[in-house]
Chains A and B, each alone.
Chain A
Amino acid sequence: MKRVWVHVGLIAFSAYILLPILWIIRTSFVPESMSYSSSLMPGFTLDNFAALLNRRNFGNSLLRSLIVSLGATLIALPFAAATGFAFARYRTGGNLGRFLVLATQMLPAIVLVLPTFTIFRSLGLTNSIFGLMIVYAALNLPFLTWILMGFFEGIPVELEWAAMIDGANPWTAFWRVVIPVSLPGLASAGILGFIMAWNEFIFALILTGPATATVPVSLAALQTQNGIRIADVSAGVVLAVIPLAIIARYAQRFIVSGLTFGAVK
């Protein structure tokens, strides 16, 4: 009996999370005119996707988002790894250093976005996906540092000691032992950084123009004077979520299997 209630609870909770998503998927395949209908599948069309990709160049937004998010993550990751390792192993900066890294995350984005805009405009970096990439890398850095620091702390220092005694200087030990052992951690951090950049809205809105808009900005632009074109928006959301879904599907296995290593005991 108790198990039944547990299942009822879990089903209700899953529905709470999944139904809106399922409804969006459904709406993305329904013609705009029938999109507010309460029936389950009042029609079927791929026009929403076609319109989005052809007339609104949504494909370009996807490509830009991909470049910006990937670029920002790849720029931030090595710095975050180096900083996180210094915090974890050498306790550089002590607790204050750690706190300061975390403190940067306490500022709301809106506080940062205006000064950033001013600086970037004088540097000529507004309206450029490169500028946005740099901003995302900077925004990601503290967060990724924090995650990787935790991961490095979990790596027994004896692994590095063993490498040093085997003849590796600290730099070699870091590259030949610490980094390979940390690949799962680097992957998780990278994925989280990618998702954060992929979904980011405020900086993208302020720092890009129509020709450089990323996915979230392009989605928001679907809200016109004629009201929200909900079927188009749904199709856009589906397209925006697909890369994340793919990552989640394949990365998960890699991360989980990588975490059980067996260096010690």
Chain B
Amino acid sequence: MAQVSLRNVVKRYELVQVVHNINLEIADHEFVVLVGPSGCGKSTTLRMLAGLEEISSGEIYIDSRPVSSVPPWNRDIAMVFQNYALYPHMTVAENMGFGLKLRHVPKSEIQARVKHAADILGITNLLDRRPKALSGGQRQRVAMGRALVRDPKVFLFDEPLSNLDAKLRVQMRTEIKKLHQRVNTTTIYVTHDQVEAMTLADRVVVMNGGRIEQIGPPQELYHAPKSLFVAGFVGSPGMNFVPARVEESNGSLYLSIGNRCRLAVPLARTDRYGPFVGRMMTFGIRPEHISEPSGEPQSGMAPLELPVDVVEPMGAETLVHCNLDGTTVIACLEPSTQASPGKPIKLVADMNHMHLIDPETSLVV
């Protein structure tokens, strides 16, 4: 087990730079998830960590030891690939024991460790099979077993669940989390799925276009996103964004959307948003912070009346797509809602959870 640091890590392929100056400190035992849209450089970063890809500049440290000149076979890390990459000519047991065999671990110990890992993953009955005789989920477990057996300093996962069907994916996600709680090995996990990131991570690293947008625990990313990108990427359904002008009257701030809609900004935010009075900003609010009014009006709740476009019952909740001055706004309502397409609906936005984004910098203010 080990801590890992990336300092000013850059990756260039000939002329294009695909990873820009990554700085990341990962503590011992930590589970860190790199998340971002496809092509943002997650796998490249992971491969640099593994030593499969050279770094163009900067340095990576594993346990305070610079590793850029250490080849993958000497880094003492394990990696699970999206396509599992099981050795097709070996049985499950041989697949799992291969790394130990290369390190000349005695046969009896290899057997014991393979057995132990197989017990943990529930694949003891598969040990004599070859990969082609396994289902996708079983292959996934074997791939994890191969990493587990080695008891390495660091686990690297590159989208390990992407090839599984939805149900199995959720199940394996839980198993990965359990596994980490049990073995506690420092883990760096790559995914494009923000739900996976939020559920698994101690800390999430949101990447976009080869840069880190924000690093933080899942709750922090959800409640205090630092940029438009993170605000929109984290959470499902995603945050609503509406262009709005900040206005002041009698010492209070309002957001003015179109000609008819004015939303009061909570007093606590007056100082924070004061400098933006008169400017067009992007107002962000999550669907779960828009609801139907119930009982007495509460402070920070701004009333809205919007025409409904689409109603999507999800079971536990109902998503209602409304039109706010030409922008679609999704509200996450109780399943008992009477909303129906074409009719207006009365809503309240919980402005205590609002975000304001400066469109010039794309940063949350």
Residues of A within 8 A of B (CB): 156, 158-159, 161-169, 172, 176-177, 180-181, 183, 260-265
Contacts and interface: CB of A to CB of B under 8 A. Distances in A.
Q: Is the interface of A mostly helix, strand, loop or mixed?
A: helix
Interface of B: 47, 50-52, 71-73, 75, 77-79, 81, 83-89, 98-99, 102-103, 130-134, 136, 139, 146, 150, 163
A117 to B, nearest CB: 44
B88 A166 contact: no
Given A158-B81, A161-B50, A166 B89 contact: no
Given A161-B50, A161-B79, A162-B79, A167 B102 contact: yes
A161 B83 contact: no
Nearest to B47: A161
B85 A167 contact: no
Given A172-B102, A260-B132, A262-B130, A165 B77 contact: yes
20 contacts: A159-B87, A161-B72, A161-B85, A162-B81, A163-B98, A164-B71, A165-B73, A165-B75, A165-B77, A165-B99, A167-B102, A169-B71, A176-B98, A181-B89, A261-B132, A262-B130, A262-B132, A263-B85, A264-B86, A265-B136
B132 A162 contact: no
Nearest to A161: B52
B192 to A, nearest CB: 18
B85 A262 contact: no
Contacts of B132: 260-262
Contacts of B73: 164-169
Q: Which 3 A-B pairs have the closest CB atoms?
A: A262-B132, A166-B99, A158-B85
Contacts of A164: 51-52, 71-73
A177 B52 CA distance: 17
B263 to A, nearest CB: 49
Contact of B102 (A168, A263, A264): A168
A159 B102 CA distance: 15
Nearest to A166: B99
A161 B143 CA distance: 13
A265 B136 CA distance: 6
For A166, A167, A172, the residue with the greatest tally of chain B CB atoms inside 10 Å of its CB is A166
Contacts of A167: 73, 99, 102-103
Contacts of B77: 165
A158 B83 contact: yes
B89 A264 contact: no
B137 to A, nearest CB: 12
